[in-house]
Chain A
Amino acid sequence: MTLARDQVTHVAMLARLGLSDEEVERYRQQLDAILSHVDRLQQVDTSQVGETAQVGGLVNAWREDVRSECLPVEKALANAPKRRRDHFEVGAIQE
Chain B
Amino acid sequence: MSPETVGGLGARLRRGETTPAELAAQARGALQSIEDLHPVLRYTDALTERQAGRAARMLAESPERAGPLCGIPFAYKDVLCVEGVETSAGSRILEGFIPPYTGTAIQRLLDAGAVPIAVTNCDEFAMGSSNENSAFGPVGNPWDPSRVPGGSSGGSAAVVSAGAVPFSLGTDTGGSIRQPASFCGVAGFKPTYGRVSRYGLIAFASSLDQIGPFTRSVEDAAHVFTAMAGHDPRDSTTSPLPVEPVATQVARGVAGMRLGVPREYMAEGLEPGVRAAVLAALAELEKLGATLVEVSLPSTEAALSTYYIIAPAECSANLARMDGVRFGLHVDRKSLTDTYLETRGQGFGPEVKRRIMLGTYALSSGYYDAYYRQAQKVRTLIAEEFDRAFESVDALVCPTSPIVAFPKGDKSDPLSMYLCDVLTIPVNLAGLPGISIPCGLSQGLPVGLQVIGPRLGDAQVLRVAHAYEAATAWHAQMPPSSPTATGTPS
Contact = CB atoms under 8 A, between A and B. Distances in A.
Interface string A50-62: 1111111110010
Decide if the interface of chain B is mainly helix, strand, loop or mixed. helix
Nearest to A33: B415
Contact of A15 (B299, B356, B430, B455): B356
B356 to A, nearest CB: 5
Contacts of A18: 338, 341-342, 344-346
B98 interface: yes
Interface in A43-79: 44, 46, 49-58, 61, 63, 71, 75-76, 78-79
Given A17-B356, A79-B328, A52 B361 contact: no
Decide if the interface of chain A is mainly helix, strand, loop or mixed. loop
Contacts of A44: 299, 302, 374, 377-378, 381
Contact of B239 (A30, A57, A75): A57
B357 A49 contact: no
B361 A50 contact: no
Given A16-B344, A54-B237, A41 B306 contact: yes
B333 A91 contact: yes
Interface in B166-187: none
Interface in A2-48: 7-8, 10-12, 14-19, 23, 27, 30-31, 33-35, 37-42, 44, 46
Contacts of B357: 8, 11-12, 15, 17, 27, 31
Contact of B335 (A19, A33, A55, A91): A91
Contacts of A79: 97-98, 100, 326-328
A37 B415 CA distance: 8
B236 A61 contact: yes
B414 interface: yes
Contacts of A56: 193-194, 237, 239, 431
A95 interface: yes
B328 A81 contact: yes
A55 to B, nearest CB: 3
Contacts, number: 181
Contacts of B429: 55
A31 B309 contact: no
Interface residues of A, number: 52
Interface string B80-118: 000000000000000001101100000000000000000
Contacts of A8: 357
B334 to A, nearest CB: 6
B193 A31 contact: no
Contacts of B364: 10-11, 14
Nearest to A82: B330
Contacts of A58: 194, 236-237, 239-240
Interface in B345-385: 345-346, 348, 353-354, 356-358, 360-361, 364, 370-371, 373-381, 383-384
Interface of B: 97-98, 100-101, 193-194, 207, 233, 236-237, 239-240, 299, 301-302, 304-306, 308-309, 316, 320, 323-330, 332-342, 344-346, 348, 353-354, 356-358, 360-361, 364, 370-371, 373-381, 383-384, 413-415, 418, 429-431, 455
16 contacts: A11-B360, A15-B344, A15-B357, A19-B345, A31-B361, A34-B415, A37-B308, A38-B308, A41-B305, A46-B381, A49-B380, A53-B376, A56-B237, A76-B326, A81-B325, A91-B338
In the complex, the 8 A-B pairs of residues with the closest C-beta atoms, listed nearest first: A18-B345, A55-B431, A81-B330, A18-B341, A79-B327, A61-B236, A51-B376, A46-B377
